[in-house]
Structure 1
Amino acid sequence: MSITIDAVSFAAGDTIIVNGVSLTVAKGKVLGLLGPNGSGKSSLLRLICRLRKVRSGVIRLGEDDIASLSRAALARRIAFVEQQSTTETQLTVRDVVRLGRTPHRGLLSPWGAEDDAAVDEALLRVAMRERAGQLWQTLSGGERQRVHIARSLAQAPGELLLDEPTNHLDIQHQLDILRLISKLGITCIVALHDLNLAAMFCDSLAVLQKGEVVAAGAPEDVLTEDMIGRVFGVRAHVQKSAVHGRHHIQYVLD
């Protein structure tokens, strides 16, 4: 389903965090969410999955206002991979990924072959199937991130939100994860810091600054030298890559 964010605002006390944001993500497309630290990216993602309550505005999944959906219905629709998540419980990698099936099962529903298949496929997609029996606590930060993404894939969501999913990953796994996300055919919003990765893998981009959208559109229209200078405070040279055909940013040192 598509995701529509219509004039959404959110505040913590008297501090406005998200201010009148309007964005649309077409079904099956990937929107990259860019902006400096503290620009409101994480807060916007949490508003979409209703972990925060909007002050004003409407968020829709397809035609459905998220405010009208039950918690269970929303959990079956949307998956969220946060920056940091941990547990002291002794869980294996497979145990963590199995949690992704929870929204699809009743309290007394038996675990079935369909659930096993979803977990196995998710582990395979993030190259963690051989680690299925390993304890969560023994994993590196990057491995944990890949397991969280597998959990979200096992959930079989219609919409997927990811908050800086390439954090802690080496270059190979950054490319692998973003390539996977771009080919899922699921409506995605992914917050990223790396502008070059955003240009390579996202269908469209939106740039936040102080809680407001200051640029949105196709990567080649958004990633301009002027925008990078105004929003990120750095000089950059932007050109079309001869390798992959997308925009490539080179930063200029003064």
Structure 2
Amino acid sequence: MSISIQNVCWSAGDTMIVDGVSLNVAAGKTLGLLGPNGSGKSSLLRLICRLRQVKSGVIKLGESDISTMARPEIARRLALVEQQATTDAEITVKDAVRLGRTPHRGALSPWDARDEAAVNAALGQVGMTSKATQLWRTLSGGERQRTHIARALAQTPTELLLDEPTNHLDIQHQLELLDLVTRLPVTSVIALHDLNLAAMFCDSLAVLQGGRVVAVGPPETVLTETLVRDVFGVRARIEKSAVHGRHHIQYFVG
């Protein structure tokens, strides 16, 4: 399903955090959200899944306006992986991933083979099968992040939102994770800090600054030396990679 964001605004008190944002993500494609800290990336993700109410504007999943959708309906189709998701519960990795099946089950529904298959598949996809019985509190930061992503995959969403999913991951797992997400048959929006990873894996990019979209389109047209300087405050040289054919950014100090 596609995601459509039309002139969306949201403020915290008197401060406008998301200011007139309009974006479209085609079904099955991946949009990378870029921008400095405080640019509105995380807030926009929470608006898409209705954890926050828009002040004005419309967000649609496919043809459905999310303001008219019941929360269980949204939960069955859209999964969010947040930056700081955590738990103090004494649970295993597999128990945490099982929570992803909650939207698909009634209060008295028994756990069935379809639920078990979804959980096992999700653990395998993020390389956490061998850790399934390990307690959550004993995991490293990277292992916790992969467990959160497995929980989202167990939800079997049609739309997937990820807020800085590569935090705490080493470079191997960063590459494996983004390769996995972009190959899934879902529509994805991923907030990222790493411009090179965004250029490698995203079909299109949207750059936010001060809550507004300042550039949107394919990576090769969005990521320019001028934009990197003006939005991120650093000098850069951008070349086409001989390895993956996408733009590669080199940064300079001074």
- Name the TM-score class by shorter chain: over 0.9
**Helix, strand or coil: the match of 1:172?**
helix
**Helix, strand or coil: the match of 1:149?**
helix
**Helix, strand or coil: the match of 1:179?**
helix
Task: Give 1:196's aligned residue.
Answer: 196
For 2:153 and 2:165, locate their aligned partners in 1 and report how far apart those are by CA, in whole Å.
13
Residues 127-183 of structure 1 show CA distances to partners (whole Å, capped at 9, x for unaligned) of 000100000000011100000000000000010000000000000000000000110
Matching of residues 152-191 of structure 1 within 5 Å? 152-191=152-191
Task: Give 2:241's aligned residue.
Answer: 241
1:51 paired to 2:51: yes
TM-score with structure 2 setting the length = 0.99
TM-score with structure 1 setting the length = 0.99
Task: Give 1:68's aligned residue.
Answer: 68
Residue type of the partner of 2:2? S
Residue type of the partner of 1:92? T
Which stretches of structure 1, 4 residues or longer, exceed 3 Å deviation after superposition? none
For 2:154 and 2:96, locate their aligned partners in 1 and report how far apart those are by CA, in whole Å.
10
Structure 1 residue 77: Cα displacement = 1.1
Structure 1 residue 253: Cα displacement = 2.0
For 2:184 and 2:88, locate their aligned partners in 1 and report how far apart those are by CA, in whole Å.
31
RMSD (Å), alpha carbons: 0.4
**Helix, strand or coil: the match of 1:32?**
strand
Aligned residues of 2:158 and 2:185 also touching (Cα < 8 A)? no
Residue type of the partner of 2:76? R
Structure 1 residue 97: Cα displacement = 0.3
Percent pairwise identity = 70
Task: Give 1:139's aligned residue.
Answer: 139
1:126 paired to 2:126: yes
Task: Give 2:16's aligned residue.
Answer: 16
For 1:106 and 1:198, locate their aligned partners in 2 and report how far apart those are by CA, in whole Å.
38
**Helix, strand or coil: the match of 2:169?**
coil
**Helix, strand or coil: the match of 1:200?**
helix
**Helix, strand or coil: the match of 1:243?**
coil
Task: Give 1:36's aligned residue.
Answer: 36
Residues 47-89 of structure 1 show CA distances to partners (whole Å, capped at 9, x for unaligned) of 0000111000000000000001101001001000000111111
**Helix, strand or coil: the match of 2:84?**
coil
Residue type of the partner of 1:104? H
Structure 1 residue 236: Cα displacement = 0.3
Residue type of the partner of 1:45? L
Aligned residues of 2:26 and 2:187 also touching (Cα < 8 A)? yes
For 2:129 and 2:27, locate their aligned partners in 1 and report how far apart those are by CA, in whole Å.
29
Residue type of the partner of 1:25? V
Structure 1: runs of 5 or more not aligned = none
Aligned residues of 2:208 and 2:214 also touching (Cα < 8 A)? yes
For 2:185 and 2:237, locate their aligned partners in 1 and report how far apart those are by CA, in whole Å.
32
**Helix, strand or coil: the match of 1:73?**
helix
Aligned residues: 254
1:207 paired to 2:198: no
For 2:133 and 2:41, locate their aligned partners in 1 and report how far apart those are by CA, in whole Å.
34
Structure 1 residue 117: Cα displacement = 0.3
Structure 2: runs of 5 or more not aligned = none
Residue type of the partner of 1:73? E
Task: Give 2:225's aligned residue.
Answer: 225
